Structure 1
Amino acid sequence: MDMNPETTLSALRDFCAERVGVELATRLVGLARPGFALTAAGPGEAAGHSRFGGRAMLEPGTPWPTCEGFPLSLLAVLDTDALAPWLGGLLPPGTGLLNFFCLDFESEQRDPVADALMGKFIGNDPQVVRVIAARSAHAVETDPPSGSSVFAPVQWAASAGFAFPDTWDPAWDHLDLGPEADDKARAMPGMYIADLFPEWGQRPGALDSEDIAFGRPVYPTGSGPWMPGGEDPNVYHHLLQLSGQDEWWIGGDGGWMHWSIPTDALRAGDFSRAIPTPDIW
């Protein structure tokens, strides 16, 4: 994290203004959300306790999450104590560790019961995931119950930056493109912006990773976030994108897992309202 958020946003706004002018650049940067590129950590690089796999970090007495009584599997831990300074007050103070659980129905470790459950619950059903917070000073590594998979831990380094909506994300529909944009641009604003910035990947604060904390989700299938009951995805905030690991995948041949949460619940620290928004192919 070489720069603070304000410095990075200023550099990002200047980068955009050189190509589309100050007014559109200011509106465009308004869509950027702070996040982190997650990569395997070298010695001394880990972002606190952030990691893929391993055992859950829960406060003593916390019930293990289940789907119809069958235990979910711990997929990741995010240490928000290490990440919060970049997030600008998005999280309540003292949020601590976030444990990300999901029903394991794909890995070689999966229990046959999980296969039966996935015949009943599709991958974007809220019952197949859970996010549980634990205060860092109280959290302890917790052994899972029988049936829950345990994946080899990979500590994460976290590189801070800002994420923009994916090409087909409905968040683009709220961007005022200005009077120069034609009807085609207004119909496909994400594509229009991409065409204006052939060097978009070189922008300040770009998150260059398939695994991302916070920020915004990426959907390689060319789709966008699906929300239960047709809710507006713009009132949700992205928590974690997990592209897959050697031991775990979602969706058979591939697929990326996402956890999202209503922004008001995130600011209140109510992680019981987190939902899955996977991209499966």
Structure 2
Amino acid sequence: MRELCVEHLGEHIGTQVAALAKPGFGLRPVKPGIPAAGLGRWGGPALLNPGTPWPEYDGVPLSLFAVLDVDALGAWLGDDRPPHALLNIFYFDPDVQRGYVLEGAPLRDFESPRFCRIIPADPALAIEEAAPAPASIHAPEPFYAVPVVTLPSMQGVSYDPVLDTVDYGGETEDSLHYRSMPGWLAADRLGDRWLEFCERAQGLYRYEGVRFSPDQAFGWPHLENSFSQLKEPYRHLITIGHHDLGDGGYVHFVLPPKAFRDGDYEQAIALYEGF
């Protein structure tokens, strides 16, 4: 990965971009001969400690999108992991078939931290809790996790603003576009090559005939659009695209770095990618 960065960006810039790398996991549906990542799965009932209230947004129960078994992922994350072993991932996704009334429903703030919730649980104590109406119910599907190396996203409508933190020296002076948005230099010179490397060498985003699979835990997420919330540093927890979120839509769940380290999931926000 470092060799690829240096080849296309030079030693000065390439070394800095390579230093941004973070470990992550590509998430894939379990198949014969490959066990699930512990209790990890998309959908199904939540796994909550007894007495934990079901999360809501504006009085509407959230939907359980995934359960992430952090301990089952092993040592690949090193120190780059949150402090809790089991995480329930919720998102606002009510179902009209379960009694949600669209007509007259108030406008929702997609950028509100309450639009999603991350609720930790103790694997030794957690019990299954079914989603109350009108939250959507997604069929449970276990996943397995493939260790990968990730870089800030360099594809799509906009690159990850983390790339603006790199010292590009004088290489941005020849382009007005690079001077105003220096991260475009890395995206232009490395973006396509990095995506090809991810697909070919890591099976990340595309694998075994699957056209595009954004599902990923930790590392840097694959961003297709720009998000104002990412002007400050952030940490990525999970990206979920396995549910029916519209025409190719998926959701990134991110936190501020300190909140990630401390397990303060109240500060988590969801970034929705829709097409």
TM-score under structure 1 length normalisation = 0.81
- Summarize the Cα distance change of 1:120–1:59 in structure 2 as closer, same or farther, 3 Å threshold: same
Matching residue within 115, 124, 128 for 1:141? 128
Answer yes or no: is the 8 Å Cα contact 1:129–1:276 preserved in 2.
yes
AA matched with 1:265 = A
TM-aligned CA deviation for residue 206 of structure 1:
7.0
Aligned residue in 2 for 1:171: 162
AA matched with 2:135 = S
Tell me, in whole angstroms, the C-alpha distance in 1 between the residues paired with 2:168 and 2:2: 15
Tell me, in whole angstroms, the C-alpha distance in 1 between the residues paired with 2:259 and 2:104: 31
Please give the secondary structure, in 1, of the residue aligned with 2:108.
Answer: coil
Please give the secondary structure, in 2, of the residue aligned with 1:86.
Answer: coil
Answer yes or no: is the 8 Å Cα contact 1:244–1:255 preserved in 2.
no
1:202 and 2:202 correspond:
no
What per-residue deviation string (whole Å, max 9, x for no partner) do you get for residues 118-163 of structure 1?
Answer: x321322222211101122222222222322211111111111122
Structure 2 counterparts to residues 120-159 of structure 1, below 5 A: 120-159=107-146
* 210-219 or 196-205, larger mean C-alpha shift: 196-205
Tell me, in whole angstroms, the C-alpha distance in 1 between the residues paired with 2:35 and 2:59: 38
AA matched with 1:78 = L
For structure 1, the 5+ residue unaligned runs are 1-11
Answer yes or no: is the 8 Å Cα contact 2:9–2:186 preserved in 1.
no
Aligned residue in 2 for 1:73: 63
Answer yes or no: is the 8 Å Cα contact 2:163–2:186 preserved in 1.
no
Aligned residue in 1 for 2:6: 17
Answer yes or no: is the 8 Å Cα contact 1:244–1:254 preserved in 2.
no
State the identity as a percent: 39
Please give the secondary structure, in 1, of the residue aligned with 2:258.
Answer: helix
1:265 and 2:259 correspond:
yes
TM-aligned CA deviation for residue 15 of structure 1:
2.8
Aligned residue in 1 for 2:22: 33
Aligned residue in 2 for 1:9: none
TM-aligned CA deviation for residue 255 of structure 1:
2.3
For structure 2, the 5+ residue unaligned runs are 206-212
Please give the secondary structure, in 2, of the residue aligned with 1:17.
Answer: helix
Tell me, in whole angstroms, the C-alpha distance in 2 between the residues paired with 1:206 and 1:179: 35
AA matched with 1:266 = F
What per-residue deviation string (whole Å, max 9, x for no partner) do you get for residues 246-272 of structure 1?
Answer: xx21xx444221211111011001112
Tell me, in whole angstroms, the C-alpha distance in 2 between the residues paired with 1:125 and 1:158: 29
Tell me, in whole angstroms, the C-alpha distance in 2 between the residues paired with 1:114 and 1:126: 22
TM-aligned CA deviation for residue 114 of structure 1:
6.5
- Summarize the Cα distance change of 1:166–1:114 in structure 2 as closer, same or farther, 3 Å threshold: farther
AA matched with 1:177 = Y
